[in-house]
Structure 1
Amino acid sequence: MAIPNTHRGFTLLEMLVVLVIIGLIASLVGPRLFDRVDTSKVQVAETQVRMLRGALETFRLEVGRLPSESEGLAVLYTPPADERARARWRGPYIDEPVPLDPWGNPYQYSIPGRDGMPFALYSLGADGQRGGEGVNADIGFLPPN
């Protein structure tokens, strides 16, 4: 007795219908996932700014001054060139070299800050430019206007 060949595959039409359905689902879910990614990048930037602020405050307590604009944030990881400051430096104040913001741009540091803050420390947001709204807004302790 012969065994009938009952292997049946998917037709091209069935495959196309499945691909269209998957595409429709992805078009509905995709934008929501990208919004979550943008929101989480903003949260990471806020957290990193707070961490860098704490390191700056510790540097100021130990060295007796804030880093100059020319020293920048790098002095939180590597000793300053100034011998007097180097003698008081007890760093590194961060575990790794200064990270880039979540969009791959360096954090901005300047003196003074806004509203009596002794320094400005911020990310330029997703667009990498001053100002903006939403994910493009500047994040952190901003400079004077």
Structure 2
Amino acid sequence: MKALNKTKQHSGFTMMELLIVIVILGLLGSLVAPKFFNKLSTAERGVAKTQMSAFETALDTYRLDLGTYPENLSELRQSDKPRWDGPYLPKEVPNDPWGNPYVYEVSKSQEQPYTLKSLGADGKEGGEGDNADIIHQ
């Protein structure tokens, strides 16, 4: 008679191996997540700066056509003023990356004819870090 082999081979992970993997993934996640979210806020600030550069181009083109800067950003999309040759932006004026409208102010100064800014994540003047204003002149 042949001897029966009573040991069976099981494939797969044990509960202990799965727990160890879960703990390791949790530790890695706790190290990586803060750096990822820091990069996200850096990206939002970059988007705001890029959008404001696009506004600058549109504002300068508007001024070349009409001789003055618009009273508000919506005039870059639609206006009934003579010599208006827009739209100067391909889409509606977007909000900043935090969902707040950009602040646009026309000045009388020739050196600085307008100020364009985002008030940052908090939507209020001033602030630090993500809440700091981004000013484009």
Q: Shared fold (TM-score greater than 0.5)?
A: yes
CA displacement at 1:141 relative to structure 2: 2.8
Partner residue, 1:121: 116
2:38 is the counterpart of 1:35: yes
Amino acid at match of 1:134: G
Answer with 1 or 2: which has the greater Rg.
2
Which runs of 4 or more aligned residues in structure 1 lie more than 6 Å from their structure 2 counterparts after TM superposition?
1-4
Task: Quote the Cα distance in structure 2 between the aligned partners of 1:47 and 1:60.
Answer: 20
Aligned length: 134
In structure 2, stretches of 5+ residues that fail to align are none
CA displacement at 1:140 relative to structure 2: 2.3
Q: Secondary structure at the match of 2:125?
A: coil
2:3 is the counterpart of 1:25: no
2:10 is the counterpart of 1:15: no
Partner residue, 1:106: 101
Task: Quote the Cα distance in structure 2 between the aligned partners of 1:10 and 1:58.
Answer: 65
Task: Quote the Cα distance in structure 1 between the aligned partners of 2:121 and 2:91.
Answer: 23
Q: CA RMSD in A?
A: 2.4
Amino acid at match of 1:95: P
Normalising to structure 2: TM-score of the pair?
A: 0.84
Alpha carbons of structure 1 residues 115 and 11: separation in structure 2 relative to 1, 3 Å: farther
Task: Quote the Cα distance in structure 1 between the aligned partners of 2:133 and 2:22.
Answer: 41
1:58 aligned residue (58, 61, 70): 61
Amino acid at match of 2:74: A
2:91 is the counterpart of 1:96: yes
Normalising to structure 1: TM-score of the pair?
A: 0.80
Report if aligned partners of 2:49, 2:136 keep a CA contact under 8 Å in 1. no
Q: Secondary structure at the match of 1:140?
A: strand
**Residues 25-61 of structure 1, C-alpha deviations (whole Å, 9 max, x = no match):** 0110111111111111111111111110111111111
2:136 is the counterpart of 1:141: yes
In structure 1, stretches of 5+ residues that fail to align are none
Alpha carbons of structure 1 residues 115 and 40: separation in structure 2 relative to 1, 3 Å: farther
Aligned-residue sequence identity (percent) comes to 46
Alpha carbons of structure 1 residues 64 and 120: separation in structure 2 relative to 1, 3 Å: same
